[in-house]
Structure 1
């Protein structure tokens, strides 16, 4: 009987071992990193994970998924990039410009998919908006500035001066503000932009806009979004309408935002990552721009900031916070 059991066990091992090897070979490894955690970037990450799951990539079954946040630190982003490069995942998803730049500087071979990056060319992640033959591609959250200005004018028809707080070290912010200044000037509107190097500098920068601007506009600057409540406080105290390019900011106290659906941006990014998991080379995939935007308005914030939202604006909103 012992010999029979031994033979059965041996045969069983011959059968199971290849299956285990197949399961191991079939396991995909996706790493995700973000420069910081805040609602917009968290929505991107959730969208990526949901798309992977919907397409059959299940954590612990055929997918190893790892996430690290740089907690707003470029030094942390660089360290995470080194760790991920050493781990050699099948794809790395980099959320926001600083994390994407750190990864692109660290690895020239591991597929990198950036997301929530406004201008990947200015950030030197890619040379152009065409397939570039490198290990980097991704999805941008670039928005039409003309539509942003139209929204500002719908909220403040007599708009003369716009204020903005930005991080001078974040390419997303500096690029957008340069373009916004030119676009506003064409309409006779002046831009006053105040730098805030650190998140802790944002309240002081916001207060410096009191009495100088008719409206405060916020981009997707990650430091600013992380400390958004300090801007809301200044806007409420000074009766200055606060307009955002990030819909999640409206829940936090902005009057309105016409911006990218960051969850859908994540889903789009997830689809791109899956193409790479299935064998496509990132260098053969041209960068894309998020294709779903939404208008969100906050009537409570409008009351707090001394503005009345017109009926046409309310009727055109996809979401109204009351």
Structure 2
């Protein structure tokens, strides 16, 4: 695999976001969207709202990357951070509040958050991030020409490379359990990609689904004895409950190939992972273009990361517990994230 050496280990200290650079946690209070306000020195000051679906390492890292890009740009801004705690009704309420408050721009982290914001405004610019496929999710007309007030950065996974990684580490695996939440449309897209890749490798597969985090332990337990390994994509519900997945899977000798690095840090075996901090940083750069240069989201293509920009990661502690040899990954420049 031609994967770059991992960039930097992302921090999970979301509570520090308000202390970064010029950001000050405050409500969005402009009279109209997109105009900013004027500071005493005559420069523009922007009100930015953030709606994050839930808390887990990947989404937190995207949030941090976005804030870092704003800080690096030197713009003056105030930011309001809101987290829906994976509650759809909370997404709707927060989205409406941010719109009513007249933000100049809103960042939506994860598909349900973006859908909620897009459903209540066609005027305020929206940047989405940690979204697998904007077009398939109904957020834009097309990924090349969004056509509305929403654009952003996609976390479309290198699923085929992840399946190659599974075969490399687990050459004797005959059946793979595909674990995801049925409420997440982007997970279905990735699962279909995984099934196609596994078919090409001659490896059998079976879907195992949850509708909420409460079902994770029972569903993973149901895999024991029926599959040789587990694959889970960048699914927010599974990512938030990854410690439960790892507890059951690892105790029963089931290696888990994951969609992203945070899931590996929390007990998964390995991944070819999007760098979510970089993903959020690019979303922040797009936001700055919109706010300061008048860029139009309708004509800003959705940005994606190539597999060469992804991180090869593994968890040595998990590998030791499972008896899986991951030394080849270290030789390829992979990063052990077990101490993260």
Q: Could you tell me the TM-score, scaled by structure 1's length?
A: 0.89
* Runs (5+) with no aligned partner, structure 1: 1-18
Whether the 8 Å contact between 2:312 and 2:329 is mirrored in structure 1 is no
Matches within 5 A, 1:1-322: 26-57=44-75, 62-278=76-292, 279-291=294-306, 292-309=309-326, 311-321=327-337
Aligned-pair CA distance for 1:21: 6.0
Measure, in 2, the Cα distance between the counterparts of 1:303 and 1:64.
Answer: 46
Measure, in 1, the Cα distance between the counterparts of 2:331 and 2:120.
Answer: 48
Measure, in 2, the Cα distance between the counterparts of 1:220 and 1:23.
Answer: 44
Structure 1 outlier segments of 4+, above 6 Å: none
SS at 1:193 equivalent? strand
SS at 2:211 equivalent? coil
SS at 2:123 equivalent? coil
Measure, in 1, the Cα distance between the counterparts of 2:224 and 2:61.
Answer: 32
Measure, in 1, the Cα distance between the counterparts of 2:210 and 2:310.
Answer: 28
Whether the 8 Å contact between 2:52 and 2:84 is mirrored in structure 1 is yes
SS at 1:208 equivalent? helix
SS at 2:238 equivalent? helix
Output the aligned Cα RMSD: 1.7
Aligned-pair CA distance for 1:108: 1.0
1:234-254 Cα shifts (integer Å, max 9, x gaps): 121111111112112222111
SS at 1:288 equivalent? coil
> Of the two, which has the highest radius of gyration?
1
SS at 2:119 equivalent? helix
Aligned-pair CA distance for 1:194: 1.3
Measure, in 1, the Cα distance between the counterparts of 2:321 and 2:74.
Answer: 46
Q: Which residue of 1 aligns with 2:26?
A: none
Change (3 A) 1:268 1:296: same
Measure, in 1, the Cα distance between the counterparts of 2:41 and 2:117.
Answer: 29
Measure, in 2, the Cα distance between the counterparts of 1:219 and 1:255.
Answer: 13
SS at 1:101 equivalent? helix
Q: Could you tell me the TM-score, scaled by structure 2's length?
A: 0.84
Per chain length, whose mean CA-contact separation is higher, i.e. which structure has more relative contact order (CA < 8 Å, sep 6+)? 2
Q: Which residue of 1 aligns with 2:24?
A: none
Change (3 A) 1:20 1:162: closer
Whether the 8 Å contact between 2:125 and 2:150 is mirrored in structure 1 is yes
Measure, in 1, the Cα distance between the counterparts of 2:123 and 2:41.
Answer: 25
SS at 2:86 equivalent? coil
Aligned-pair CA distance for 1:147: 0.7
Measure, in 2, the Cα distance between the counterparts of 1:235 and 1:317.
Answer: 26
Aligned-pair CA distance for 1:145: 2.0
- Count, aligned residues: 299
Greater per-residue helix proportion: 1
1:99-122 Cα shifts (integer Å, max 9, x gaps): 011111111111011100011111
Measure, in 1, the Cα distance between the counterparts of 2:141 and 2:39.
Answer: 40
Name which of structure 1's ranges 218-227 and 298-307 shifts more when overlaid on structure 2.
298-307
Whether the 8 Å contact between 1:115 and 1:269 is mirrored in structure 2 is yes
Whether the 8 Å contact between 2:221 and 2:249 is mirrored in structure 1 is no
